[in-house]
Amino acid sequence: MTRLQNDLFLRACKREPIERTPIWIMRQAGRYLPEYRAVRAKSDFLTMCKTPDLVAEVTLQPIDIIKTDAAILFSDILVIPEAMGMHLEMHEGRGPIFPEPIRNEDDFKKLKTIDPFVELKYVMDSIKVTKDELDGRVPLIGFSGSPWTLLTYMVEGSGSKTFARVKELIYNNPKLAHQLLDKIADTVADYLNAKIESGVNAVQIFDTWGGILTPSDFNEFSLDYMTKIISKLNKENIPVIMFAKGVHHSIDKMADCGANVLGLDWTMDLGKMREQVGHKVALQGNMDPTILYGSKVRIKTEVQSVLKSFGEGSGHIFNLGHGILPDIKPDHAKALVQFVKEESVVYHK
């Protein structure tokens, strides 16, 4: 195993002493980079996800160009339902579509039990190529959607404003919803364990749609399954990050679910959250992604404000409160990374 030249991210996850605050950016391998768009222009999105050389290329772009402290393996959360047998189409402008969504017991029975080293072998191959090319420069993060977030896509079949279908399911057939979530949770746990075995240094679970649920539904239909996954991970020395957007009401419970790090969106007060749960977990986030529309001067002020809010000591991984937006200037992302590196030193004396 290559020794990591920059392990600030991993040490911050474990709340060990560091010299400055590490930063990476959700969706850092993405459309805001012209270098990414150049790769994407030659290949459709799913082919990119399934071609290890292309995965490695776009995963490394932000490390070379904007110089973040961690890489995150380029992929999509929907590779899991696809591997379970659901036909997935990616439509430009309309987002992902499952033409045959899951709506009843028969649909559920059609979902395959998978071996991630077989059906998702291309992901494991991608990890190996990416690790080789990274050559120990920074740690590599692997990710998955949460069972609840995957279920919303699998049931809705396409983007939704109201989530009518998946809400109908949990209200009118909670038993089936739980069967589905349980199967997805087992699949995600196997998938993340395979990623760990293949060499990722940390994993992040994204619960993009946890925030559409009431507090009690979130606990029943989302958090319980993320907790189950974490309990099944072979996570010796592999930090687990849980990011549940819009879930301001269950921070204490999330801090107790076994994750090492909680990701926070930009509506949360980082300082208050550190006070509340920072003795249990590290915190990741949480600059408003739209601040990058502002001037560099404004970005710098906001970086200072986020760093000040967390305060002195380890346990903070700087990030945006949600993915970087596709129309952000790469120059502003570069400036953000540089500001965090410079401005955070004083908090780690």
Contacts to its own copies by CB under 8 A: 162-164, 167-168, 171-172, 211, 213-217, 246-249, 266-269, 288, 290-291, 293-295, 298, 305, 325, 327
Which one from 20, 27, 69, 207 is the annotated catalytic residue? 27
332 vs 341, which CB is nearer to its own copies? 332
Q: Which residue has the tokens 């920072």?
A: 278
Active-site annotation holds for 7: no
Which one from 32, 36, 153, 225 is the annotated catalytic residue? 153
Query: In whole angstroms, how close is the CB of 329 to its own copies at the nearest point?
Result: 12
Question: Distance from CA of residue 79 to its chain's centroid?
Answer: 14
Give per-residue burial for 230-248: e unless 16+ CB within 10 Å, then b.
bebbebeebbbbbbbbbbe
18 vs 333, which CB is nearer to its own copies? 333
17 vs 93, which CB is nearer to its own copies? 93
Give per-residue burial for 59-97: e unless 16+ CB within 10 Å, then b.
bbbbbebbbbbbbbbbbbbbbbbbbbebebeeeeeeebb
Active-site annotation holds for 103: no
Query: In whole angstroms, how close is the CB of 294 to its own copies at the nearest point?
Result: 3
Active-site annotation holds for 182: no
Q: Which residues pair with 284 in a beta bridge?
A: 263, 317
241 vs 244, which CB is nearer to its own copies? 244
294 vs 313, which CB is nearer to its own copies? 294
Query: In whole angstroms, how close is the CB of 62 to its own copies at the nearest point?
Result: 20
91 vs 298, which CB is nearer to its own copies? 298
Query: In whole angstroms, how close is the CB of 176 to its own copies at the nearest point?
Result: 14
Active-site annotation holds for 69: no
Query: In whole angstroms, how close is the CB of 260 to its own copies at the nearest point?
Result: 25
Active-site annotation holds for 20: no
Q: Which residue has the tokens 């399911």?
A: 169
Query: In whole angstroms, how close is the CB of 218 to its own copies at the nearest point?
Result: 8
Written as one letter, the residue type at 303 is: V
Instruction: List, in order, residues 6 or more apart from 133 with CB less than 8 Å away.
Output: 56, 60
Catalytic residue IDs: 27, 31, 40, 76, 153
